Amino acid sequence: MNQRSQTQAIMFADVSGSSALYKRVGNEQAKATIDDAVQFMTALTIVHEGTLVKTIGDEIMARFDLVNQACEAAIAIQQRSIKEPRLKDLGIRIGIAYGDVLITPNDVFGDRVNDAACVAHIARANQIVITQSVVDAMDNALRRDCQMFDRINIKGETEKTLIYRLEWEHSGKDNRATMVMPIHDVTRFVDNFQLELVVNGRTISLLPEQTPFHIGRDPHKAQLLIETELASREHCHIEFRRGKYVLVDHSTNGTYVYVDEQEPIYLRREELPLQGRGFIGLGQTATASTPWALHFKV
């Protein structure tokens, strides 16, 4: 399995009160409201250079390279939630932890993931609850907004540890540009990160939350099936990382990336950010008209 260990801030954010909402307004209206909330939580995660790991019903899980990115994203989500009329009877609760995790193409694992999920469940509506590891790694400006919240046994630990509430309500944070960005502008921001793939006349449009996107000959594992013998069963995948789409090769024969009429860049068990427009040969050199040449535009 392709996996790596890395230090990350893990954030869980979920809509509080969604079960009651379904009973109060019915399935269709409730689902539309929850979908809107998940959309802007995802958008603000990306704005703050986070990576959406997955959505779980009315909850998102995200990871960030830096603690401050995760905290700013959480603050922006809470600030946005109180401005959304349809969420006035709901709330969002957020938990953040920081430390070493194991990252795979489709998920993140480890104690810090469990810690973030634990404090997210402790948080009440409209609260951000964080672990000691987050406080230790954040900037002083944010640390001043932390209040000791409780001393608990985090799941699996025998000793009690401090957890904190990150205050976001006071007016000093209202000046953050990303926080007051209208939601349609945030959505437009995400749409600008769209990746377009074209192969054999078929066009596929991807947004960051639709990655990782797997390409190869295995119909059970590939989202884009490539029917050429020189492509591997699990040839490559495309993921969204820190504002860029990255092509990651897993193949036997390698991948050729053509950009701006330059000599192709050859990848074998390597990765490359995709920028601008060009085309890709999977397992073989290619021209723009080669069957199964994969054209891309970012």
Q: What confidence tens digit (pLDDT) does each residue in 176-198 have?
A: 443 344 445 555 555 556 889 99
Greatest mean pLDDT among 22-31, 183-192, 196-205 lies in: 196-205
On whether both 208 and 176 belong to a single domain, the answer is no
- The token pair that represents 287 in the structure block: 């021209």
Instruction: Measure the CA–CA gap between 89 and 103, rounded to whole angstroms.
Output: 36
Q: Same domain for 237 and 272?
A: yes
pLDDT for the residue 191: 56
Same domain, 109 and 250: no
Q: Is a pLDDT exceeding 80 seen at residue 171?
A: no
* Percentage of residues of the chain with pLDDT beyond 70: 89
Q: Are residues 148 and 261 in the same domain?
A: no
Confidence bin at 158 (pLDDT 50/70/90): low
**292 Cβ partners below 8 Å, 6+ apart?**
199, 200, 226, 227, 228, 231, 282, 286
Closest to 268 (Cα-Cα) out of 284, 252, 257: 252
Alpha carbons 38 and 55: distance in angstroms, whole number: 8
Which residue range(s) make up the domain with 217? 193-297
pLDDT per position as a tens digit, 223-279: 999 999 999 999 999 987 766 789 999 999 999 999 987 899 999 999 999 989 999
CATH number for the domain harbouring residue 267: 2.60.200.20
- Pair 183, 197 in one domain: no
As a whole-number percent, the residues of the chain with pLDDT over 90 amount to 55
pLDDT, tens digit, 9 for 90 and up, residues 104-144: 888 999 999 999 999 999 998 899 999 999 999 999 889 88
pLDDT at 62 over 70: yes
The reply to whether 33 and 79 lie within a common domain is yes
Strand partners, 100: 7
| 184 CB burial (10 A radius; 0-12, 13-18, 19+) | exposed
Among 188, 218, 241, which residue terminates a domain?
188
Q: Are residues 180 and 69 in the same domain?
A: yes
pLDDT band at 152 (very low <50, low <70, confident <90, very high): confident
Same domain for 113 and 79: yes
Residue 165 and residue 53 share a domain: yes
End position of a domain, from candidates 188, 215, 245:
188
Neighbouring C-beta atoms of residue 131, cutoff 10 Å? 24
CB 235 within 8 A of CB 215: yes
Per-residue burial over 57-77, b if 16 or more Cβ lie within 10 Å, else e, is ebbbbbbbbbbbbbbbbbbbb
For helices 18-25 and 27-47, what crossing angle results, to 10°? 140
Number of domains in the chain: 2
Residue at a domain's end among 188, 207, 227: 188
> Residue range 33-48: average pLDDT?
88
Q: Please tell me the number of Cα atoms within 13 Å of 199 on its side-chain side.
A: 19
For the chain, give the mean pLDDT.
86
Q: Taking a C-beta distance cutoff of 8 angstroms, is the pair 65, 241 a contact? A: no
Say which residue, 136 or 207, is predicted with more confidence. Answer: 136
Q: Give the CATH number of the domain where residue 9 resides.
A: 3.30.70.1230
Residue 53 pLDDT more than 70?
yes
Same domain, 37 and 99: yes
Residues 67 and 200 in one domain: no
* Token code pair at residue 141: 């400006």
Which pLDDT score, from 0 to 100, does residue 285 have? 95
| Together in a domain, 168 and 63 | yes
DSSP letter for each residue of the chain: ---EEEEEEEEEEEEETHHHHHHHH-HHHHHHHHHHHHHHHHHHHHHTT-EEEEEETTEEEEEESSHHHHHHHHHHHHHHHTT-GGGTT-EEEEEEEEEEEEE-SS-EESHHHHHHHHHHHH--TT-EEEEHHHHHHS-HHHHTTEEEEEEE--TT-SS-EEEEEE---SGGGGG-TTTSS-HHHHHHHHHTT-EEEEETTEEEEE-GGG-SEEEES-TTT-SEE---TTS-TT-EEEEEETTEEEEEE--SS-EEEEETTPPPEEESS-EEEE-SEEEEEESS---TTSTT-EEEE-
